[in-house]
Structure 1
Amino acid sequence: MANDAIRRLLAAPPDLPVLAGLPALTAAIGARGLAVVQAPPGTGKTTMVPPALAALVEGRVVVTQPRRIAVRAAARRLAQLLGEPVGESVGYVVRGEHRSSRATQIEIVTTGVLLRRLQRDPDLPGVDAVVLDECHERALDGDLALALLVDVRTHLRPDLTLVAMSATLEAERTADLLGGADPAPVVAVPGALHPVAHVWCPPPARVVRTDERGVTPGFLDHVAACTRRALAESPGDILVFLPGVGEVNGVVRRLAGIDADVRPLHGRLSHREQDLALTPGLRRRVVVSTAVAESSLTVPGVRVVVDAGFSREPRTDHRRGLAGLVTVGVSRAAADQRAGRAGREGPGAVYRCWSLAEHARLREHPEPEIRTADLTAFALDLACWGSPDGTGLALMDPPPEAALAAARSTLFGIGALDADGRVTERGRRIAGIAADPRLARALLDASDVVGPDRAAEIVAMLGVDVRAPGGDLVAA
């Protein structure tokens, strides 16, 4: 059960929209042990749902986030509300970093960390509740984690409390997967959005948005100009959305000298640099971010959004024979989520770097990763689970047959699967390394030849995308 600090937080919580849904969530968990929470970004679901569950179960509550930066930020936020340092009542685990203790009742982890725990011990000893956050992103490991947890609850742990949280209307599909013939209860929490004015800012006709190398310097100039315009026309801090780290850094350079603090925000930054972007200062801020701020993080003080209109999706990089990312146009659903960031604290504005006519042609939702991504690691996880083709698992979408066959062929070639598609002992060793299976196999083989340290250096270099600066993955 919840300790004194968590009980105090629940007795005097911050004023967040999600509070209106907690009684319904408590009732759903009491009746079914299952629930789907549908709430827009910024409603406080990541902050208040885990403590509410901690008050209902005896063991630990594990909360997943799709990105390491979101894991750390969520843990820090909740620990601050409890008046404790991270690692006591609230802890976190990401690859290479562990800040939790025996006293930890709420542990926030990346989805990949949870998947490795499930593969090691599906019973999840000591864990009584799991919260899968950001299910709407349809990340490959998120879909797989949901499917494995449903399998665990059906066959091993019927007592395991399971909550999925989504920011979109796909909550009904998630509820069907969780509950099977009797869908899980859906707790809908409306957002407290203020009006957001839409400003359409397409680039001049002479400016090409992308070429074979990705987003063009000319278009980054346009995004920076739109940001300066927003700074002059609209009050409050500004959040700029760009597809990748290279574009973020390019716009940060272009905004040098403006009358505001310009802060980059992405997963490669140090903890201190991330904190600078997430903490309001004495001057106006312009936070230039990747999609991490779309739903995983809430940036306080934002009243203006500048959206470049791009996102990154996974594809197979055939040149390297590894997974890669390609720049694509944003979906309408993602654009709406980004715009909503401007209306959390008061009336705001979104400056979209495309036209109203182009907006009507955008795809409705992002493509689920399972349909486009390299499936090699996914196929190895399925084989380790004992379901090589995913049969019987509650997957939101089935994997494409051709992509799954190609992944199995790759795994057979590196000795991770046998001829019948079953995982080998070598395959289990490969799966235990948090890397692309091809790189993990190289690490294992090279360690015996050149030693583990040199092997790790070589594999790290192989894992770096070395195409020309600004270059994009074109082959898909």
Structure 2
Amino acid sequence: MPELPDLPVRPALAEIADTLAADGTAVLVAPPGTGKTTLVPLALAATVEGRVVVAEPRRLAARAAAARMASLLGEQVGETVGYSVRGDRRVGRGTRIEVVTSGLLVRRLQNDPELAGVDVVMLDECHERHLDADLLLALLLDARGGLRPDLRVLATSATVAADRLAVLLGGSGGRASVLEVRGRAYPVDFAYVPPLKDERIEAQVARATRTALAETAGDILVFLPGAAEIRRTTERLSGLRDVDVVPLHGRLSANTQDIALRPGTRRRIVLSTAVAESSLTVPGVRAVVDSGLSRVPRIDHRRGLSGLATVRVSAAVAEQRAGRAGREAPGRTWRCWPENQHATLPAYPEPEIRTADLTRLALELACWGTADGQALAWWDPPPAGGLAAGREVLRALGAVDADGAVTDRGRRMAALGLHPRLARALLDGAAVVGAQRAAEVVALLDDDTLAPTTDLVAAIQALRRDRPARWRREVDRLARLVDGPRSEFDDPAYVAALAYPERLARRRAPGSASYLMAGGTAVTLPPRSGIADAEWLAVAVAGRDPGRSEGRIRLAATADEDLARRAAPNLLGTRDEVDWIEGDVVVRRVTRLGAIVLSERPLRDPDRALVAAALRRGLGATGLDLLRWTADATALRQRLDFLHRTLGAPWPPVDDEALLAAADTWLGPELATARRRTDLERIDAGQALRRLLPWPEAARLDELAPERLEVPSGSNIRLDYAADPPVLAVKVQEVFGWAATPRLADGRAAVLLHLLSPAQRPIAVTADLASFWHTGWPRVRAELRGRYPKHAWPEDPTTVPAHRGTARGINRGSSAS
């Protein structure tokens, strides 16, 4: 082996190989640029007879790592060092080191759990926590625990968060060794560039980049969240003299990617996504401009929308990005956020397994024989809800049976290396439109950044005309994987609908841009889409913009009801529906495609139980005020509520929640005969409420909570039970003779007396009449004597007969002075 470069990892190569040989597993922590991705596999290959397989999270990183190792050996890729990524493989008979993507190694492990001929697997950049990498780690540990205990596994990470990884790799034998290599980093100065008012991220990054260009020498590495931002930033940097602006992201051709990974003849600005954070080395960089954003997969199970979300980077990622400026010399980093916000960044990136669509993971687990994945050792286990949603999709696609076991069709779908939805579209689409036509659509759906327009059909026509190399190669590869008749039937909408049947959508109103998808989510067609007059759409790509309740259509094709019925027969159904809709009972027979109503007609003789259930829902939605509540009915409810609060059982609760829960008990006869809202409005709530009275206790209702109370004057005054405690509003003269406050409910509750003047105006409120006569009455009496001189106002009201009128007929001697 030729002399290896003098990189920081070089002195540790022997220790790494010895540790791995002795223990079988190890964790290597080393920052980017130390040589762990290239020197370690070369050193390990010299210590084993079999093949060393290096798993990289990205295709770009796999190709770059293989090219770098081959150049160190003075060879071409495909000799001692080769690579395999989806759609591209360069491996020869003498290949000892093979660099593969994590997803491809998962497929290889599924086909050959023993990994025949492989002695070492190196899992590179584990800290990035990609979904395929987490799954690969779990499957490798399971295979090593059974079929291949001799398989050596080395996990590498650019961060020191390796504790959990060491425990996983150690298995029942304890914790794996953690070997740490420190990089030769030069100092990096930081500057913070907050956004200006209403400034887009591309403008902010371009502004920071121009500053970096003026204040530093060497190349500038700029981190942006995605290809669209790279394109827009490139436009803003156009016109720079003696500077090359070079894009770098996973969707570019191999030749274009290689340009960014080679030193240039002039100064360069490399605009990159997250691919350059840790897996790749971009030579010549002296300055970094960090947008502070990254694009990660997200799934919204409730709306049935999945895609990429733009999020803030973690502190660990920001540190890695900044470190790129100090690999070869002192450098500077411009961060496009306020300095005081840096402390609020999350510590580490969110593992993809927690937030991404898990349908493909669920299929791989079913192929492995553990549908729920609980038998595996995970860095972070897949969320139960996300995994269940993925299995539900697989059942609809026929990839797993009712018990979650993989079907033959499911194994064939998994072998295609596509998302199960796209695999279904390719398999079933090829049978109708032919392998080539189906492959064209699937290749675009798998890489929708190729679409120049929202119109899927127009996008396919443009790709056929321009024939971009990346799309053409993938179409040819996919077409070779499936069989299909030679067909002139060309219908991209049908193939898209096979992939996403629940995204078949119908316009919600004539002329509207809003559509309802079969899955129940509303989506909006953007202006100038080219398909604005369509009644039906096969939506291929839809996402949710921040602050919007509806999703936004990004790629779709015109469809019709016939296509929808053919593409999604499992979503078709006809049933009798009795429901409370817009304030009344609606009885109809409805044919639906998921949430989309295709046809409906009224039913003449609906099931009475269904009508009663709809009426109960109507009561719940509209409220009990829908019934006829007379004053007596309201008073009865208030009296019962008082007794329930004061005495408890058997007096029932009569609040809204309790009454709705017991509707069958007290409204049963009425619900059994009612058919519509007007029938509910005629129900006498008081009469129905009496069905809740407990017997025999109900015989004492008027004793425990009388509707009226007789006062000393002989009047029967209505009690107000709406208040707590109940209120008796009465003229003070009519309670002369009462020495104490009357009590209700077997003496448990005192009445609250609102004492009134002869003019019915309140003069006092008391629940303790005896105390009032003693302390409050003298003051009140003085005011009343001056205001109402014709009335009798005795010093001691307990000794004077009560009366309703003036002092006439009352012994004036008893009320004198």
Q: Do these two structures clear the TM 0.5 threshold for a shared fold by scoring above it?
A: yes
Question: Relative to structure 1, is the Cα distance of residues 269 and 129 closer, same or farther in structure 2, using a 3 angstrom cutoff?
Answer: same
Aligned to 1:215: none
Is the aligned partner of 1:191 residue 2:183? yes
Asked if structure 2 preserves the Cα contact closer than 8 Å seen for 1:153 and 1:160, the reply is yes
Structure 2 residues without counterparts, runs of 5 or longer: 455-525, 530-541, 552-817
Q: 2:82 aligns with which of 88, 91, 99?
A: 91
Q: How does 1:71-220 map to 2 (within 5 A)?
A: 71-181=62-172, 182-204=174-196, 206-208=197-199, 218-220=200-202
- Which of 278, 282, 286 is residue 261 of structure 2 equivalent to? 278
State which drifts further: 74-83 or 16-25: 16-25
Match of 1:289 among 264, 272, 275: 272
- Kindly state the Cα deviation for residue 125 of structure 1 after the two structures are TM-superposed: 1.0
What pairs up with 1:310-329 in 2 under 5 angstroms? 310-316=293-299, 321=304, 323-329=306-312
Q: Read off the aligned partner of 1:312 and give its amino acid letter.
A: R
TM-superposed CA distance for 1:236, in Å, is 1.5
1:323 is displaced (CA, Å) by: 4.1
Match of 1:398 among 344, 365, 381: 381
Letter aligned with residue 363 of structure 1: P
Secondary structure, counterpart of 1:417 in structure 2: coil
Q: Check 1:464–1:232 CA distance in 2 against 1; reply closer, same or farther (3 A cut).
A: same
CA separation of 1:164/1:276 partners in 2, compared to 1, >3 Å: closer, same or farther? same
How far apart are 1:448 and its partner, in Å?
1.4
CA distance in 2, matches of 1:27, 1:170: 23
Is this contact kept in 2: 1:326–1:473, CA < 8 A? no
Q: Please state whether the residue corresponding to 1:257 is helix, strand or coil.
A: coil
Q: 1:320, CA displacement in angstroms?
A: 9.5
Letter in 2 for 1:59: G
Distance in 1, matches of 2:388 and 2:113, equals 26
Alignment partner of 1:231 is 2:302: no
Number of corresponding residues: 456
Asked if 1:25 is matched to 2:25, the reply is no
Change in 2 beyond 3 A, CA 1:13/1:463: closer
TM normalised by structure 1 equals 0.93
Secondary structure, counterpart of 1:207 in structure 2? coil
Q: Tell me what 1:41 maps to.
A: 32
SS in 2 for 1:28: helix
The Cα of 1:461 is off from its aligned counterpart by 3.8
CA distance in 2, matches of 1:118, 1:361: 40
SS in 2 for 1:43: coil
Structure 2: how far apart are the matches of 1:89 and 1:227? 40
Superposed CA offset, 1:28-65 (max 9, x none): 11211211110011111001110111011111101011
**Residues 1:421 and 1:318: Cα distance change in structure 2 (over 3 Å):** closer
Q: Distance in 2 between matches of 1:247 and 1:472?
A: 17
Q: Which of 439, 442, 446 is matched with 2:422 structurally?
A: 439
Q: Deviations over 1:104-163 (max 9, x none)?
A: 000001111101100111111111111110100001100010111111111001111111
* Pairwise CA distance, 1:316: 2.1
Could you tell me which residue of structure 2 aligns to residue 474 of structure 1? 545
Indicate how the Cα distance of structure 1 residues 115 and 322 shifts in structure 2: closer, same or farther if over 3 A, else same.
farther
Q: CA RMSD for the aligned pairs?
A: 1.8
Give yes or no for contact 2:307–2:543 (8 Å, CA) kept in 1. no
Asked if the contact 1:36/1:185 (under 8 Å) is kept, the reply is yes
The answer to whether the 8 A contact 1:310-1:328 is kept is yes
Structure 2 distance, partners of 1:49, 1:473, is 43
| Distance 1:164-1:317 versus aligned 2 partners, 3 A rule | same
| CA drift at 1:175 | 1.0
**Residue of structure 2 equivalent to 1:338:** 321
2:220 partner letter: I
Shift of 1:245: 0.5
Structure 2: how far apart are the matches of 1:319 and 1:179? Answer: 39
Q: C-alpha distance in 1, partners of 2:49/2:201?
A: 53
TM superposition shift of 1:20: 2.6
1:317 is displaced (CA, Å) by 6.1
Give the drift of 1:172: 1.7
CA 1:125 to 1:319, structure 2 compared with 1: closer, same or farther past 3 Å? same
SS, match of residue 76 in structure 2: coil
Task: Report if aligned partners of 1:313, 1:326 keep a CA contact under 8 Å in 2.
Answer: yes
The aligned residue for residue 65 of structure 1 is: 56
- Give the structure 2 partner of residue 449 of structure 1: 432
Aligned-pair CA distance for 1:80 = 0.6
Q: CA deviation at 1:164?
A: 0.6
Contact 1:325 1:473 in 2 (8 A): no
Partner of 2:351: 368
Kept in 2, the 8 Å contact 1:262–1:285? The answer is yes
| Cα offset, 1:322, TM superposition | 6.4
8 A Cα contact 1:34 1:179, kept in partner:
yes
Q: Could you tell me which amino acid in structure 2 is paired with residue 93 of structure 1?
A: S
Q: Which of residues 209, 219, 222 is equivalent to 1:240?
A: 222
Indicate conservation of the 8 Å contact 1:327/1:473, yes or no: no
Of residues 344, 365, 381 in structure 1, which corresponds to 2:364?
A: 381
Aligned-partner Cα distance in 1 for 2:370–2:543: 35
Mark the CA change 1:125 to 1:404 in structure 2 (over 3 Å): closer, same or farther: same
CA shift in 2, pair 1:473/1:198, >3 Å: farther
Aligned to 2:723: none
Aligned counterparts of 1:38 and 1:115: Cα–Cα separation in 2? 23
Instruction: Give how far 1:203 is off.
Output: 1.1
Answering whether residue 86 of structure 2 is matched by residue 15 of structure 1, we say no
Counterpart of 1:423 in structure 2 is 406
Residue 449 of structure 1: how far off its partner (Å)? 1.5
Preserved contact between residue 24 and residue 151 of structure 2 (Cα < 8 Å): yes
1:221 counterpart letter in structure 2: A
Deviation of 1:75 after TM superposition, in Å, equals 0.8
Q: Can you list the C-alpha shifts for 1:371-427, whole angstroms capped at 9, x where unaligned?
A: 000000001101110111111211101111111111111111111111111111111
CA offsets, 1:226-251, max 9 Å, x none? 10000001121100000000101111
Partner of 2:503: none
**Structure number with larger C-alpha Rg:** 2
Q: Distance in 1 between matches of 2:124 and 2:305?
A: 27
- Whole-angstrom CA distance in 1 between matches of 2:73 and 2:446: 39
Q: Distance in 2 between matches of 1:322 and 1:378?
A: 17
Give the residue type in structure 1 aligned to 2:416: I
- Name the SS for the 1:303 alignment partner: strand
Distance 2:274 2:226 in 1: 8
d(CA) in 2 for partners of 1:318, 1:29: 42
Q: SS state of the match for residue 20, structure 2?
A: helix
Deviation, structure 1 residue 282? 2.3
2:21–2:152: 8 Å Cα contact kept in structure 1? no
Q: Is the 8 A contact 1:207 1:219 kept in 2?
A: no
Q: Distance in 2 between matches of 1:463 and 1:98?
A: 20
Aligned residues: percent identity?
Answer: 60
Provide the rounded CA distance (Å) in 2 between the counterparts of 1:30 and 1:401: 37
Give structure 1 stretches of 5+ with no counterpart.
1-6, 209-217
